[in-house]
Structure 1
């Protein structure tokens, strides 16, 4: 770079002042040679002290930049670099450090867009283990994170590394699945790396190599061996448009290189020489804009600067030079020259392909438009990451097929592990094809999801199924199967639960099934033949019965004094009064009949009906709750024996998270085994409950729905997913494909194909509510039927049998006699009272005969005498009863005539 700088500066001076002979200012260059960092620091101090320079040009390393920028800020002297591509401090804190190069941040964005355009999800970065290499790596990390491209691995290679060390690192990279390598190294280290990579077979088909401009800027100086080892590499570098001035400069450059017999690695012109050429022009323009200055005004003062012992003076010309330099704008050999925030405004990047003995430009990248095939403005800028407009690229191995970015390291065939299951074969059903090679054919819901995801991948994958678990192995475990990754399997496909303890040694894709662990128990209905009594407690039943009796008595009293004037009413007065005893009940069954006549009776019945209505509605609601909601109530007992699926993680889950004793855990393999164990129960060697994941239990309930139910909370798991090696680039790719499958139109058909019609994981209630309604049986209401049948038989016995009728007749006679005896007593008491009232005429009374007041009054309606009326309800009475009734009637008629 020293040779490049010396020659470019001289040519730039000569060209500029020959083009501007009328300029009143001239730049004076003071050169110091330094072969080490320490010599460079002393050289700068010597230039500031003895040469009294007002600008420093040429720090090449990041360490030099850091020291010189701090020194320049202290003495107000601009430090100008034509090689630095980044800065450790922001421009506001480092104003006197000027970079006439674009920032590496833009190159990192271009590289990220290229990887995104070629659909590479992960990249391996090999970089020079220097401060500049670490700075560039930070830019790459930020750019790749913004577009969600992973950095699978970073390899820092020292400049002093031996070839054996580099080869060892390359072998380590070959063992990984990622096949996209991004190289950021200086030319000498980069050429060695590619030579050893070709020797290791890493420059073959399937690999993709990208180089940054740290190496690509010097490709025109490499020899045939280096170029041959890099064939198929994709590179990026700042674009320099062709011009007559550039052609003229290149001719003079070559001529001077030959005449001065320059030696070294760099033999041809590169972008750094053009940036330096334009930097000299910008300094000359800035100095002319300042104009001639008085030498006595070049420094602020001649005192020492602070407490240092270097006698450094603060420049008064430096700030003015910095200000004019930031305003300078022109078109140079490298393109548009304009400084923004102390760095060169970014221009386009050229995307090229190392092809044969040269390079081929395949496209361009700009900050505004992104990737494009040509540098043609299309109006309003739209940032594109598509590589469709790029020219064809020849990749390593003379292949024109875009590398997919990853590969299976060993055989090139994806080894897919599938578990052999004793039950729940709806998910995975394995058939061994070749026992010697363990080749397997697999079907099932999980396999259909896997095959559908393969079709959505942006590349083709060859795969083979490999069986796990011999049917004679009692220690079958999904965890052991996952530990076979990556030694035995490249991916495990099946009903493998995404569980946190497993994530330490495998990566999981997105889930494709419902998440969660549930508890299933027997659907024990809380029914018996007296269930209709349960909605109300015994005290309420007793209160209702007593209330009905008391209400009947009250209505009998209220209706006693009301005459029956309605000829179309229910019956005679005695029958009507008898009905009032049953009014609280009959009014509910026969609301259209006129049961009562008294206004007060109606008033009382209104409130009785209001209470009865509330009781009826409450009874109905509580009975409904007993038949439905109360079935969901469940309390898990520590005495339960619990079943779980063999080979799954459920045993550890139940022990560690639910603290269930291992002695109460029993494993089963199939739906039928679960059902048999639940049917027997723990007392007969079975189980009382099942803990398993929702997809399994939905299959179980679909087959034995009315006999079991899900109860309790749903415990958190993430569902089923595919397992990959840690850091595998396939994880993200498969996850995107699985997401498209599960949200696509074929998901329901996959489910119903394997789990039966009507099955759908999209139904949020399907995992908690039975598919069929539990039917009520005759036994559930047997008690109610017993009561009704008993009452019916009782009525038939006393109505249709001679024994029953005789018993009824005797009972009726006894009741009639008791009633008549009470009525006669009441009647005699009333007559005595009338005789007393008859001797004392009431005021205003008139005499019917001889002016005397009547001493007899008709008994009031509804008196007790009406009960013994022979015209009412005499049917079925015996002869003796008839005689008694006739005698009573004659006596009554005689009294009435008197």
Structure 2
């Protein structure tokens, strides 16, 4: 490489100034030979201090880049590299670090496009374990993620690795069964790698290999053995269009190489030589644009570097050179040459296929158009690109069949691990054939597995291997899954939950069941015999009762001022006044016009009815909610125990994510055990809640229906899936098959065969539970019936028994005395002409218009009513008798009116 660089620089300087003899400026070259990183750093310091250079051009490693970039920025000297494929620092922080080579990010995008072109979903990356190799890997990983391509495995190989170690790594990869490999190494390591790959049998039919231009740029330096081992390899490299100038330069380069007796390993000119040649022209053109500069203006201040006591001069010419470089553009041997953000603009990449000792171009990649088959004379994609973008490729093993990224052997033999369960055998039910001692398995999970086998693109043989033979109650699915990396099982089939902590040691297929964990509690509605009281709190009930009493008193006061006109004489004044006490309540059920007569009483009663209507509607709504809505009254406390399924991940889930004390957890293995524990409750050694996954709880709720209910949120999980070794190609194949099974027409029959009719994983959980209606019972409203019955019995007691009538009579007399006392105090504030007298109508009401009348404060015996005849003349009767008879008549008419 060094010999090629020296020859290209000298030829570039000679060619440029022979073409531009009139230029006033000349580039003067100062060379230093450095064989190590330390020597390179000292050489740069020596060039800056003693030679007083205004630019540094050279081969830099990633470690050198950091030092030279910082040094160049400090002394304002451009540092130019034609080999640094990427930079660890952004251009804004390293404006004096220039790369006349495209960035690796474009190469990574081209590799991702090739994988998409061949429908490869994954690839194995073999890269050189250097800092530049790690930088390239970061670019490649990002490009693959954007293209939905998975890096199945990454293997770092050092230059000093022995052949045995490399061969061991290749055989390890063969066991993982990948088929697409991407190689990013230097030429010497790449030659050894392909020779060993062919020795291991990995350069045969069914494999695909791709190389980056870190290796493809130096294919001409390979010997016959290394070249032969790369038969069928696909590679990419920067595209250089043919020109007469390029052809002439290559002939002169070969002639100069012979004349100088060059003994280097590089036999042909590489793209790096062309980039270097164009870089010299680039620098010479920029220097000429600056023109002649007075030597006194070449430097500014001095700068102290580290602990060195010698100061370095700060170049005043470097910033001007940097500015001209960013504005210079020309067409060189390698193509269009222009800098953007301190790096060479990307050109098209050539995709080629190694066939024998030659190469065949199969297509191109450009940043704007992606993959195309042809380019025109200007290096742009043709407009007549056929549907198939790349030409036919000859793959390893002289095969023309495109390899699959997940290719598998002709027949796959699987050791299928299945759990021996105590309960929920609807999913997995393991039995042992007594005659052959062969393990047999049935259930929903097994049916999904068998249906998926029929859809795989390759034949499969399997044997069931049972786990938990002794039916140990302390077994767990996690222990069973650890048998996969221990190579006891090739696959685990069962109701195994896809859970993040398990992904550290196994891969999962797509789920075939509903995801989620739910909480199940007893379906106890908050009903009792006093349910009708619960819509309102005690303070509101008390306020309503007090408001009714106060409203009755207010209406009694307002009605006391109303005269007893002929229109209102149908009801005795005294009874009407007493009735106003009950008007706030009776008006709700028996709204009568003659209940109140005062206008202000009507206004007060209207607002009271408005408020009462709102209270009634609110009461009805709240009672409806209590009777129909399931409310979560369950809360975790020290008095509650929670059940979970034996062997499942729920124990860790409840402890780590829901922070439930382990002492409050109890394990169960079947639907019946769950029901028994819930029936006992925490107070009798059972549980008050169950945490488990939706498929299990569907079976539980389907059997016990309305006795239990789902409360709270659904906690996310990914459902049941099959487990595989990490990196296994079977994962993707089974995932595709499972997707076809779960969305196929046979899914319903599989569910019906295992769970019975009515179960469907496609329906939400809410549609499979609470199939029966929880009807209200007599006990739910027992308190209301007790109140009504008590009032009825009390009324019968007071009306139909002598003791009751006597009690009412005494109560009425006491009430009249109290009322008279209050009335006398009230009347003392009024004038005599404002007294109200009851008038007797000239004609009585027609008899027989009403039924029985309720007399407030009257004679309990009712004798006055029996002796009074509304059709007779009562003029001779006393005033007291007339008043009683009038009251009786008014009462009859009032009740008839009602």
Q: Aligned equivalents of 2:221 and 2:791: distance in 1?
A: 116
Once the two structures are TM-superposed, the CA of residue 277 in structure 1 deviates from its matched residue by 3.5
Change (3 A) 1:892 1:736: same
Are the aligned partners of 2:410 and 2:459 in contact in 1 as well (CA < 8 Å)? Answer: no
Change (3 A) 1:634 1:98: closer
Partner of 1:165: 165
Partner of 1:332: 332
Q: Deviations over 1:777-833 (max 9, x none)?
A: 24434565677789889999999xxxx8xx789979x989x99xx9xxx9xxxxxxx
Partner of 2:347: 347
Are the aligned partners of 2:491 and 2:725 in contact in 1 as well (CA < 8 Å)? Answer: no
Are the aligned partners of 2:109 and 2:140 in contact in 1 as well (CA < 8 Å)? Answer: yes
In structure 1, the residue corresponding to 2:643 is in which secondary structure?
strand
Once the two structures are TM-superposed, the CA of residue 595 in structure 1 deviates from its matched residue by 6.2
Are the aligned partners of 2:558 and 2:601 in contact in 1 as well (CA < 8 Å)? Answer: no
Partner of 1:223: 223
Are the aligned partners of 2:798 and 2:804 in contact in 1 as well (CA < 8 Å)? Answer: no
Change (3 A) 1:549 1:268: closer
Change (3 A) 1:256 1:774: same
Q: Deviations over 1:519-559 (max 9, x none)?
A: 32322344445544666789969996997999699989979
Change (3 A) 1:583 1:356: same
Once the two structures are TM-superposed, the CA of residue 198 in structure 1 deviates from its matched residue by 1.6
Q: Aligned equivalents of 1:576 and 1:286: distance in 2?
A: 116
Once the two structures are TM-superposed, the CA of residue 210 in structure 1 deviates from its matched residue by 1.9
Change (3 A) 1:132 1:522: closer
Partner of 1:366: 366
Change (3 A) 1:396 1:618: same
Q: Aligned equivalents of 2:288 and 2:878: distance in 1?
A: 155
Are the aligned partners of 2:374 and 2:382 in contact in 1 as well (CA < 8 Å)? Answer: no
Q: Deviations over 1:682-723 (max 9, x none)?
A: 677754432323443344334433222234x44744342546
Partner of 1:235: 235
Q: Deviations over 1:290-338 (max 9, x none)?
A: 67889x7797699999997999988887777666655554333222233
After TM superposition, list the pairs within 5 Å mapping 1:327-476 onto structure 2.
328-376=328-376, 388-406=388-406, 419=419, 423-424=423-424, 443-444=444-445, 447=448, 466=464, 469=467, 473-475=471-473, 476=475
Q: Aligned equivalents of 1:706 and 1:116: distance in 2?
A: 53
Q: Deviations over 1:410-429 (max 9, x none)?
A: 98567765556555466567
Flag structure 2 segments of 5+ consecutive residues without an equivalent. 821-831, 854-862, 882-898
Are the aligned partners of 1:429 and 1:443 in contact in 2 as well (CA < 8 Å)? Answer: no
Change (3 A) 1:435 1:122: farther
Partner of 2:479: 480
Q: Aligned equivalents of 2:532 and 2:256: distance in 1?
A: 113
Q: Aligned equivalents of 1:720 and 1:673: distance in 2?
A: 23
TM-score normalized by the length of structure 1: 0.72
Q: Aligned equivalents of 1:78 and 1:559: distance in 2?
A: 110
Q: Aligned equivalents of 1:598 and 1:29: distance in 2?
A: 120
After TM superposition, list the pairs within 5 Å mapping 1:143-158 onto structure 2.
143-144=143-144, 147=147, 149-158=149-158
Q: After alignment, is 547-556 or 723-732 more displaced?
A: 547-556
Q: Aligned equivalents of 1:682 and 1:148: distance in 2?
A: 51
Are the aligned partners of 1:417 and 1:493 in contact in 2 as well (CA < 8 Å)? Answer: yes
Q: Aligned equivalents of 1:338 and 1:810: distance in 2?
A: 116
Partner of 2:272: 272
1:126 has 2:138 as partner: no
Partner of 1:775: 775
Q: After alignment, is 480-489 or 581-590 more displaced?
A: 581-590
Q: Aligned equivalents of 2:342 and 2:665: distance in 1?
A: 72
1:4 has 2:17 as partner: no
Change (3 A) 1:253 1:526: closer
Once the two structures are TM-superposed, the CA of residue 241 in structure 1 deviates from its matched residue by 1.1
Q: Aligned equivalents of 1:535 and 1:288: distance in 2?
A: 95
Are the aligned partners of 2:556 and 2:578 in contact in 1 as well (CA < 8 Å)? Answer: no
Partner of 1:706: 706
Change (3 A) 1:245 1:810: closer
Q: Aligned equivalents of 2:375 and 2:245: distance in 1?
A: 21
Q: After alignment, is 515-524 or 745-754 more displaced?
A: 745-754
Q: Aligned equivalents of 2:850 and 2:551: distance in 1?
A: 26
TM-score normalized by the length of structure 2: 0.72
Change (3 A) 1:860 1:272: closer
Once the two structures are TM-superposed, the CA of residue 651 in structure 1 deviates from its matched residue by 3.4
Change (3 A) 1:232 1:610: same
1:182 has 2:186 as partner: no
Change (3 A) 1:485 1:325: same
Are the aligned partners of 1:331 and 1:337 in contact in 2 as well (CA < 8 Å)? Answer: yes
> Rg larger in 1 or in 2?
1
Once the two structures are TM-superposed, the CA of residue 195 in structure 1 deviates from its matched residue by 0.6
Once the two structures are TM-superposed, the CA of residue 169 in structure 1 deviates from its matched residue by 3.0
Are the aligned partners of 2:552 and 2:580 in contact in 1 as well (CA < 8 Å)? Answer: no
Q: Aligned equivalents of 2:130 and 2:631: distance in 1?
A: 71
RMSD: 6.4
Once the two structures are TM-superposed, the CA of residue 183 in structure 1 deviates from its matched residue by 1.9
Q: Aligned equivalents of 1:461 and 1:386: distance in 2?
A: 36
Change (3 A) 1:405 1:596: same
Q: Aligned equivalents of 1:705 and 1:353: distance in 2?
A: 67
After TM superposition, list the pairs within 5 Å mapping 1:97-112 onto structure 2.
98-112=98-112
Change (3 A) 1:332 1:592: same
Q: Aligned equivalents of 2:303 and 2:598: distance in 1?
A: 125
Change (3 A) 1:62 1:579: closer
Q: Aligned equivalents of 1:5 and 1:608: distance in 2?
A: 105
Q: Aligned equivalents of 2:50 and 2:607: distance in 1?
A: 119
Partner of 1:200: 200
Q: Aligned equivalents of 2:322 and 2:804: distance in 1?
A: 134
Change (3 A) 1:650 1:602: same
Q: After alignment, is 477-486 or 744-753 more displaced?
A: 744-753
Partner of 1:191: 191
Once the two structures are TM-superposed, the CA of residue 278 in structure 1 deviates from its matched residue by 3.1
Partner of 1:720: 719
Q: Aligned equivalents of 1:614 and 1:321: distance in 2?
A: 87
Change (3 A) 1:53 1:564: closer
Q: Aligned equivalents of 2:136 and 2:552: distance in 1?
A: 98
Once the two structures are TM-superposed, the CA of residue 238 in structure 1 deviates from its matched residue by 0.7
Change (3 A) 1:388 1:78: same
Change (3 A) 1:109 1:547: closer
Q: Aligned equivalents of 1:254 and 1:759: distance in 2?
A: 77
Change (3 A) 1:274 1:438: farther
Q: Aligned equivalents of 1:327 and 1:553: distance in 2?
A: 98
In structure 1, the residue corresponding to 2:496 is in which secondary structure?
strand
Q: After alignment, is 734-743 or 54-63 more displaced?
A: 734-743
Q: Deviations over 1:631-653 (max 9, x none)?
A: 54234564455432222123344
Q: After alignment, is 141-150 or 550-559 more displaced?
A: 550-559
Q: Aligned equivalents of 2:158 and 2:678: distance in 1?
A: 67
Partner of 1:675: 675
Q: After alignment, is 720-729 or 432-441 more displaced?
A: 432-441
Partner of 2:828: none
Q: Deviations over 1:85-105 (max 9, x none)?
A: 344555566666554333333
Q: After alignment, is 69-78 or 469-478 more displaced?
A: 69-78
Q: After alignment, is 323-332 or 411-420 more displaced?
A: 411-420
Are the aligned partners of 1:506 and 1:725 in contact in 2 as well (CA < 8 Å)? Answer: yes
Once the two structures are TM-superposed, the CA of residue 400 in structure 1 deviates from its matched residue by 3.9
Partner of 2:885: none
Change (3 A) 1:795 1:214: closer
